[in-house]
């Protein structure tokens, strides 16, 4: 019984870890795939990594949380933010992963740019 409680406690601790993750400011890179009906949009942390805790609580901040919740893209113009939001919302697929060095990234397959 004690062993089961210990294992349950470990699982709960591991599951709660991402809740306390600090979002990083990211940049978006659109890659055109020749002959395909889609483009790839990569979201990766800026270098050096910048934590976005201070702006995350501001109601005036133009921030977009990306797939996975660890990356945020900051905008200076609301029109640009809406254009990017429309593009990512129309994605055919999206995924989130972490590289071998621990850097999070998100990948979106979006319709070909006009």
List the chain domain ranges.
22-111
- Residue that wins the pLDDT comparison between 34 and 60: 34
Calpha distance 70→45 (Å, rounded): 9
pLDDT in tens, 1-41: 555 545 545 555 545 444 445 788 899 999 998 898 999 99
Residue 60 has pLDDT above 80, yes or no: no
For residue 53, the model assigns a pLDDT of 59
48-55: long-range contacts (C-beta < 8 A, 24 or more apart)? 49/24, 49/25, 49/103, 50/24, 50/25, 51/22, 51/23, 51/24, 51/25, 52/22, 52/23, 52/24, 52/25, 53/22, 53/23
Instruction: Determine the average pLDDT of the residues in 71-99.
Output: 90
Closest CA relative to residue 39, chosen from 31, 48, 29: 31
């Amino acid at each position: 019984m004690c062993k089961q409680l210990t294992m349950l406690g470990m699982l709960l601790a591991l599951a709660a870890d991402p809740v306390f993750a600090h979002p990083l400011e990211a940049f978006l890179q659109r890659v055109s795939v020749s002959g395909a009906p889609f483009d790839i949009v990569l979201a990766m942390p800026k270098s050096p990594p910048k934590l976005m805790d201070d702006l995350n609580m501001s109601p005036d901040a133009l921030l977009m949380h990306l797939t996975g919740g660890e990356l945020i893209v900051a905008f200076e113009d609301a029109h640009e933010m809406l254009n990017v939001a429309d593009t990512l919302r129309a994605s055919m697929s999206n995924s989130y992963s972490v590289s071998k060095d621990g850097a999070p990234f998100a990948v979106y397959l979006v319709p070909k740019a006009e």
